[in-house]
Structure 1
Amino acid sequence: MGGAVDGGRGRGRLLSGVAVAVGCVLFLGGFALAALLYQPYTVPTGSMAPAVAAGDRVLAQRVDGDDVRRGDVVVFRDETWGDIPMLKRVVGVGGDEVACCDGDGRLRINGEPVAEPYVHSRHGASATGFDVTVPDGELFVLGDDRMDSLDSRSHITETQTGTVPRDTVEARVEATVWPLGRLGGLPSPGGFAELPGGISERGPLRPLCWAMGGGAVLIFAGAAYGPLARRVSRTGHRRRADAAGGAQ
């Protein structure tokens, strides 16, 4: 009987060791991959409210500018914008005619009205009208708070379209991670989905979070096996000793 108990403990220790090892691979691997693929940014202004508020901490997937599509919230750096990281939403890509607004206050892309439920403005897509054609290799960007955003509209001149080059894009914002009350992914820009090229798919952030969370659970569960097993063993010994004493 003692051999069976020892065998059970041995198998338990083996399984707990495997759980800890697998948990470490999942947690550390997920963390390393997330650090490689994502960059954290702190947002200083409310120009992207309500999707991203001033003071929010966001995670942005490192992407090439060629992978950016309409509706993406991107971080870019351009000398003409002050050569500091800027966070705006892409509404037009090379070749697009971007105009505002239609009779319902909606943005028009190549003549098609686009619904933007994330926009924070009583004036619809923009309080000021504009009509530009985006040059190839460029992006037309706007803030979601159209009344409190310095964006492509502010850079339109008689000779400039206000756009930014694709190669200035550093990353695509995927989620807000701080404060905890605002934790979550950005709303989908579904209004652009029917346009040629569609919208970007979400990055691997959620699977990576599940991997790290599952890894942490396995690590704690495996590490807890030893103390729990010893406690159960001591309890069993005391019960057997009490039973033996009562029998006498």
Structure 2
Amino acid sequence: MSEEKRQLPLWQESLLLVATALVLALIVKTFFFQAFYIPSDSMVPTMVKNDKLLVQKWSYWSGGPERGDIVVFRDPGNWLGPDVDESSNAVQRGLELVGLFPSGGHLIKRVIGTGGDRVVCCDAEGRTTVNGEPIDEPYLADPSVNADQTFDVKVPKGYLWVQGDNRGNSADSRAHLGEPGGGFIADEDVVGKAWLRVWPLNRFGTIEGTDAFDEVP
């Protein structure tokens, strides 16, 4: 008669289950999606401060971000102000590491230009142009303030030009033009594409894309 399979002690089984769950969570965070929260009002009305969302990563498995995408990216160099809340609890930091708690230390903006694009603000009607094509942006909080800061940039290959939907209150690429890096975001600093708002519940739902850039050559 064959020997019965030896059972692990309960405490060892529990540790194995926890370790397996953490490894699976880390795999999901690395390759599929990750939780984040909105740190400011720069994306109003599309998103508001403290919204919780999931960012998906599969859209960029075979290519980079596209114009109009709302992306979460790592702070490229002191873009985040000192008043942005960061998790100080050790448990929260551990859960962030495996993607089980919304992460801080990141920013979220809309991609306006990708590598090779010329982005100019603005035309006679106050619209941003990309490669000479004026962009009608229905998602802006207040279109009248879009032309308050003028610029004319050529986006380097491998980089992005990003702006918030709340153009009057967004320290985005425009605010960092004169700094090292010129306000551009490296493609490799993008964590993923905004996908699903999970909190608050009354705003639960997928984050829709835009066709505003469809005519850009």
Same fold (TM over 0.5): yes
Rounded to whole Å, the distance in 2 between the matches of 1:154 and 1:40 is 27
- Correspondent of 1:100 among 121, 127, 130: 121
Classify the secondary structure of the residue corresponding to 1:153: helix
RMSD: 2.5
Supply the distance in 2 between the matched residues of 1:37 and 1:141 (Cα, whole angstroms).
23
What amino acid is aligned across from residue 47 of structure 2 in structure 1? V
- Cross-structure match for 2:91: none
Trace 1:33-182 onto structure 2 (pairs within 5 A).
Answer: 37-63=32-58, 64=60, 66-82=63-79, 84-157=105-178, 160-182=181-203
Q: What's the offset of the Cα at 1:158?
A: 8.1
Equivalent residue of 2:197, what SS? Answer: strand
Counterpart CA distance in 1 for 2:37 and 2:68 is 21
Tell me how far 1:78 sits from its aligned partner.
3.4
Give CA-to-partner distance per residue, 1:162-201, whole Å, 9 cap, x none: 11110000111012121111112223221112335xxxxx
Larger-gyration structure (1/2): 1
Q: Shift of the alpha carbon at 1:115?
A: 1.2
Question: Which structure 1 residue ranges, 5 or more long, are not aligned?
Answer: 1-31, 197-248
Cα 1:158–1:74, aligned 2, differ >3 Å: closer, same or farther? closer
* Secondary structure of 2:77 counterpart: helix
Q: Do the aligned partners of residues 177 and 165 (structure 1) sit closer, same or farther apart at CA in structure 2, a change above 3 Å counting?
A: same
Q: Is the 8 A contact 1:71 1:91 kept in 2?
A: yes
Displacement, 1:128? 0.9
Matching of residues 227-246 of structure 1 within 5 Å: none
TM-score, normalised with respect to structure 1: 0.61
- Distance in 1 separating the partners of 2:78 and 2:125: 31
Which one is further off, 169-178 or 184-193? 184-193
**Of 195, 198, 205, which aligns to 1:184?**
205
**Superposed displacement of residue 117, structure 1:** 0.4
Deviations 1:41-82 (A, max 9, x none): 111211001111111111110254842100011011134145
CA distance in 2, matches of 1:125, 1:69: 21
Shifted more, 159-168 versus 96-105: the winner is 159-168
* Cα distance in 2, alignment partners of residues 122 and 138 from structure 1: 25
Question: How does the TM-score come out when normalised to structure 2?
Answer: 0.69
